[in-house]
Amino acid sequence: MNKDILNIVFTLFLCIVFGSAAILALEFSRLAQFFPLYVSVAGTILSIIYLIVLLIQYNKIRHEHERIAFIKPLRYIGWIVGYIGVIYVFGMFIATSLFILSFLLIETTMVWWKSLISVVCVLVAISTASRLLGVYWPTNILGF
What are the structural domain ranges in the chain?
A: 1-67, 69-144
The structure's pTM equals 0.56
Q: Measuring CA to CA, which residue among 94, 82, 97, 102 is closest to residue 143?
A: 94
pLDDT tens-digit series, residues 1-14: 578 888 889 999 99
How far is residue 15's CA from residue 129's CA, in Å, rounded to a whole number? 27
139 Cβ partners below 8 Å, 6+ apart?
Answer: 91
pLDDT tens-digit series, residues 84-95: 999 889 888 899
